């Protein structure tokens, strides 16, 4: 660290990332094993030391070592000496561990209502027709004050929607029971992937991702993602939801002297793979606008082609580790990576990308005028924290010492759509039974009338009409009671750019 910048490494000059420009986003790319994780680690260290909180996913567990002081190993000391890093030292950084499954960190949860129909549809890979039906379910839940907190709430809401299909057709269009059934089957798949751990309460308060220590260092929030990566759709949708929450909830700050939070999106290709154009457009919009909230987004992936051009154009700070050019696609990626840099006449960028060693990268950051610097071949500085994962006992101790310990560790299940719809179903069943008993009673009265009277057919016809009116009156009363059973919420529900609930 130096005042106002994060030290990255040494080329022919000192390579640094200016904090004032750090919210202009960034890109870290390179083949497996070329040093992307270490680059992410030193950036997180630098931001933390500057008082900037960080959120990063830990795909292999290696990033957890940032919570422990590094060891003075020979190759680290040699690298520091080579690049003239004279004040190189070792220290641990304040860390909060998170885990959607609650095994290796504090649980992270949100509610179905807060995530919204767009991201839920993306999560379950729904068709257009299925997404339409899901939007109707959310609309009715919003209007009738039904909280969708977890998956059982959503399942109950969809069942209610299927039962009310004819009633809702006029206002909302046709609701096909087969479509609802297909969504219900996708919910089962989501449960098997661990989705039930993610949805519920207490929901994450993003302020807890933005904590600083008493001495002014930013906490580094590490998401344990090794198990989560087995469900890539859940992983990508979760990070996208978190990014949208930051965008919707954080206030405008313009161009701060340093970011309010830096968000690292590792395995970024999962966000864009097979994403519909409508979603990509909104992601592009979030990336473009979120920097005014003081949030820097840094995408980490193997190949620059993994990121759409419209998003790539907004990533001003870039670190390119080695790429291999064995296949035509690899060669295309190398060429694409080379053309995105401001060229250095001293070397052929495309050629150098394939020659970089481990811990070496091409670096270009924004200068204080916001102009990309000329690309430089750079030796990346060694980290001050531990390289590699921590032991399970060390992680457990960090969790117990965390400032959020006890806030999220126990799930809460309050009354929501599932409970209210269950009561509704019971009331409907009781009313249907009462109606059936009324019909039976009316039938008995009618039969007794036939046995005890020999009145004319005309008088009998009038008796039948009275009986029919009695039955219809009972049915009408039941219908009105069912129709008025759900109390409509008088307030309006507002949703953000990615369909998430606006809380303010």
Structural domain tally of the chain? 2
Residues 360 and 471 reside in one and the same domain: no
Compute CA distances 422 → 43, 329, 360, whole Å. 51, 55, 60
pLDDT at 454: 57
Tell me: do 382 and 452 sit in the same domain: no
State both tokens at 177: 């029971």
In this structure, the answer to whether residues 394 and 253 fall within a common structural domain is yes
The long-range contacts involving 330-336, CB below 8 angstroms and separated by at least 24 positions, are 332/305, 333/303, 333/304, 333/305, 336/304, 336/305
Residues facing 76 on adjacent strands: none
CB 51 within 8 A of CB 217: yes
Query: What's the mean pLDDT in 201-213?
Result: 95
pLDDT digits (tens, 9 = 90+) for 252-281: 998 899 999 999 999 999 888 877 787 888
Structural domain includes residue 466: yes
Q: Is residue 246 part of a domain?
A: yes
* Mean predicted confidence (pLDDT) in 457-481: 47
- 411 lies in a domain? no
Distance between CA 103 and CA 111 in Å, rounded? Answer: 20
Mark whether 353 and 461 lie in a shared domain. no
Write down the pTM of the prediction: 0.85
Ramachandran assignment for 267, one of left (phi > 0), alpha (psi -120 to 50 degrees), beta (any other): left
In a domain, 321, yes or no: yes
Please give the DSSP secondary-structure letter assigned to residue 281.
H
In the predicted model, is pLDDT for residue 474 greater than 60?
A: no
Residues 296 and 359 in one domain: yes
Same domain for 223 and 190: no
Q: How do residues 213-246 score in pLDDT, each as one tens digit? A: 999 999 999 999 999 998 888 998 899 999 999 9
Q: How far apart are the first and last CA of the chain?
A: 37
- For residue 128, give both structure tokens: 């257009």
CATH of the domain at 241: 3.40.50.300
Name the packing angle between helices 417-452 and 151-163 (round to 10°). 30
Range of the domain at 335: 5-104+207-400
pLDDT of 151 higher than 90: yes
pLDDT in tens, 53-112: 999 999 988 999 999 999 999 999 999 999 999 989 999 999 999 999 999 999 999 999
In this structure, the answer to whether residues 222 and 279 fall within a common structural domain is yes
Residue 147, class by beta-carbon neighbours within 10 Å (0-12 exposed, 13-18 middle, 19+ buried)? buried
Q: Same domain for 80 and 120?
A: no
Distance of CA 346 to the CA centre of its chain: 43
The residue out of 375, 400, 425 marking a domain boundary is 400
Do residues 326 and 462 both lie within one domain? no
Q: How many CB atoms lie within 10 A of CB 498?
A: 22
Q: Which of 370, 400, 430 is the last residue of a domain?
A: 400
CB-based contact 271:237 (threshold 8 Å): no
On whether residue 384 sits in a domain, the answer given is: yes
Q: Are residues 212 and 332 in the same domain?
A: yes
d(CA 108, CA 288) in angstroms, rounded, equals: 26
Interval 163-188: pLDDT, tens:
887 888 777 777 888 999 999 999 99
Q: Is residue 220 domain-shared with residue 361, that is, in the same domain? A: yes
Same domain? For 179 and 250 the reply is: no
Quote the pLDDT of residue 468: 53
């Amino acid at each position: 660290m130096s005042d106002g910048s994060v030290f990255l490494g040494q080329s022919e000059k000192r390579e640094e990332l200016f904090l004032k420009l750090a919210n202009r986003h960034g890109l870290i790319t390179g083949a497996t094993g070329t040093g992307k994780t270490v680059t992410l680690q030193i950036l997180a260290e630098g931001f933390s030391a500057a008082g900037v909180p960080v959120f990063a996913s830990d795909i292999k567990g290696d990033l957890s070592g940032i919570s422990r002081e590094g060891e003075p190993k020979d190759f680290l000391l040699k690298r520091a000496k080579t690049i003239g890093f004279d004040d190189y030292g070792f220290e641990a950084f304040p860390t909060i561990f998170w885990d959607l499954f609650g095994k290796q960190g504090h649980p992270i949860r949100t509610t179905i209502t807060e995530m919204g129909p767009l991201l839920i549809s993306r999560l379950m890979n729904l068709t257009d027709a299925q997404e339409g039906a899901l939007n109707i379910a959310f609309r009715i839940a919003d209007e009738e004050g039904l909280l969708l907190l977890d998956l059982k709430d959503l399942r109950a809401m969809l069942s209610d929607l299927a039962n009310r299909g004819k009633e809702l057709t006029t206002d909302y269009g046709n609701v096909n029971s087969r479509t609802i059934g297909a969504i219900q089957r996708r919910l089962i798949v989501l449960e098997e992937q661990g989705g039930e751990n993610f949805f519920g309460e207490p929901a994450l308060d993003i302020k807890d991702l933005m904590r600083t220590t008493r001495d002014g260092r930013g906490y580094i929030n590490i998401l344990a993602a090794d198990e989560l990566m087995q469900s890539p759709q859940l992983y990508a949708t979760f990070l996208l939801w978190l990014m949208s929450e930051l965008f919707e909830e954080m206030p405008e700050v313009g161009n701060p002297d340093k970011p309010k939070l830096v968000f690292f999106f590792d395995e970024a290709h999962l966000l864009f793979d097979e994403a519909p154009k409508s979603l990509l457009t909104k992601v592009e919009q979030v990336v473009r606008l979120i920097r005014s909230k003081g949030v820097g987004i840094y995408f980490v992936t193997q190949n620059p082609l993994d990121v759409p051009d419209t998003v790539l154009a907004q990533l001003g700070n870039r670190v390119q580790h080695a790429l291999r050019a064995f296949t035509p696609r690899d060669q295309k990626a190398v060429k694409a990576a080379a053309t995105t840099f401001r060229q250095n006449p001293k070397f052929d960028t495309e050629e150098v990308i394939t020659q970089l060693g481990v811990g070496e990268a091409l670096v270009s950051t924004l200068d204080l005028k916001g102009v990309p610097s000329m690309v430089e071949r750079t030796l990346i500085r060694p980290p001050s924290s531990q390289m590699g994962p921590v032991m399970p006992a060390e992680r457990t101790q960090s969790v117990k010492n965390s400032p959020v310990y006890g806030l999220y560790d126990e799930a809460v299940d309050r009354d929501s759509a599932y409970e209210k719809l269950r009561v509704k179903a019971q009331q409907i069943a009781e009313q249907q039974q009462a109606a059936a008993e009324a019909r039976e009673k009316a039938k008995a009265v009618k039969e007794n009338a036939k046995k005890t009277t020999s009145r004319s057919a005309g008088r009998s016809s009038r008796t039948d009409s009275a009986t029919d009116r009695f039955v219809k009156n009972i049915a009408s009363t039941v219908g009105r009671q069912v129709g008025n059973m759900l109390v409509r919420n008088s307030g309006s529900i507002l949703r953000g750019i990615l369909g998430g609930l606006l809380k303010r």
